Structure 1
Amino acid sequence: MSADPRAARCVVVVPVKPPTYGKSRLSGLPDDQRRDLAEAFALDTVQAATATPGVDAVLVVTDDHRLAASVRTLGCEVIPDGVSNDLNATLVQAAAEVARRWPGAVPVVLCADLPGVRPVELAGVLGEVHDQVAAGRVAFVRDHTGRGTTLYAAPADAFDPSFGVASATRHEAAGAVEVGTTATSVRTDVDDPDDLGAALLAGVGPHTTRASEGRATHSG
């Protein structure tokens, strides 16, 4: 991980459900392939984050021990899920951990289902985040559907994420500023088979490429 002196110091926080439970909307796939894909999405997401200029560290929040071991080999820090079944409360705890371990760094939540995220695009978004957070504002990236959120960042005293259904609307209504409108790879999360097909066409990381072998031929 390298630092860009023009950008804010950022710690990227990636919450990851245990792959056994993740990506339930990838219907039509065998359970083992769905689990493998969920894990691959997370690995590609965090690997891209570790390669992004301006990122001091990547903190993965998960209760999955196998995944924890895998992301540590990629250079990530890991903490357990703090509040089961409450993502936003877990993220608030993770942000507090960022403040403790990396004083002065901006906690940036990045969803774990961005297998095609490109470090150069993520770095550009972090530059926009820096401008907003330096002005005391909250920033978010809207997903490709326009409804969800793939990235959220805020000053420590304003860190109050609202992930879940229609999160983009809630973040915007709370005064968060949308950034990354042209950062396609940062907006392209994968929730269902159509999303996966589109992501494969646009290009994904090595873990998702391997996990999806044999599927691309019938992805529609």
Structure 2
Amino acid sequence: MISRSAADGVGTAGATAASSPYRVGAIVLAKPFVRGKSRLADLPSELRLQLSWAMLLDTCVAVTAVADELVVVSDEPRLQERLEPHLGRVTVLADPGGMNTAVAAAAATLPAGPTDVQVAVVADLPTLRPADVRHVVEQARQRGYVFVSDTEGVGTTMVASCGQRLESRFGKGSAAAHLAAGAALVATEFPTARRDVDLPADLAAAAQLSPGIHTSWLIERT
């Protein structure tokens, strides 16, 4: 466990929580690559597979710079052996069916003490930065239950909670669903935390935000 406190730059949710060590458990949700990015159908199928892998890897690299533990939920074959050379220790769970069920299954394996933070992240955030993840963790410690909306303000890219098992409301209209469930919207100035990629225009927009090295390498060749 990494011992952190308010002195590390994490916001205060009361003196006890601020001064107590805490752990960050992260969950990344990834479809099998053959099923991912179907709305990028204009790209060659092999390139879509490579893009799904590159975006997942860049997302995980940003997350593991902050998290103590990472659980990836996916039915992608051989994913653990592909990820570990890049990330070190990572747990891969089979998808139990549905994003919210996946979050619940992964959250059950992660620390959920009074000061611990759990954060779930979608796998297509190639521009995500460690500073983005750190900001969401800080907000969760201050406010208890938070989320980040996507660029359009309709979907969700990240959701986090402190001191409890994480529950999510991913799906159609998830930003409104998270608000209705009591999550606070993180007002982030970091567009890199909101730029998920579903459409060709999203990929072009991500390219302007300096995505991670694996996605950048592919974009340069498209």
| TM superposition score category, shorter chain reference | 0.7 to 0.9
Cα distance in 2, alignment partners of residues 3 and 197 from structure 1 = 39
Cα distance in 1, alignment partners of residues 117 and 208 from structure 2 = 33
Residues 49-198 of structure 1 mapped to structure 2, 5 A cutoff: 49-52=63-66, 55-73=67-85, 74-84=87-97, 86-99=98-111, 105-133=116-144, 138-155=145-162, 157=164, 159-198=166-205
Where does residue 218 of structure 1 map in the other structure? Answer: none
Relative to 1, partners in 2 of residues 1:82 and 1:37: Cα closer, same or farther, differing over 3 Å?
closer
Which of these residues, 22, 36, 43, is aligned with residue 36 of structure 2?
Answer: 22
CA shift for structure 1 position 211: 2.2
Partner-residue secondary structure (3-state), 1:20: helix
CA shift for structure 1 position 185: 0.8
Contact 1:125–1:179, Cα closer than 8 Å, also in 2: yes
* 5+ long unaligned stretches in structure 2: 11-21
Relative to 1, partners in 2 of residues 1:184 and 1:10: Cα closer, same or farther, differing over 3 Å?
same
Contact 2:116–2:162, Cα closer than 8 Å, also in 1: no
Q: TM-score normalized by structure 1? A: 0.85
Relative to 1, partners in 2 of residues 1:103 and 1:42: Cα closer, same or farther, differing over 3 Å?
farther
* 5+ long unaligned stretches in structure 1: 216-220
Contact 2:107–2:165, Cα closer than 8 Å, also in 1: no
Where does residue 5 of structure 1 map in the other structure? Answer: 5
Q: Paired residues, what number?
A: 207
CA shift for structure 1 position 80: 2.0
Q: Give the aligned CA root-mean-square deviation in angstroms.
A: 2.2
Identity of aligned residues (%): 36
Relative to 1, partners in 2 of residues 1:141 and 1:39: Cα closer, same or farther, differing over 3 Å?
same
CA shift for structure 1 position 209: 1.4
Q: TM-score normalized by structure 2? A: 0.85
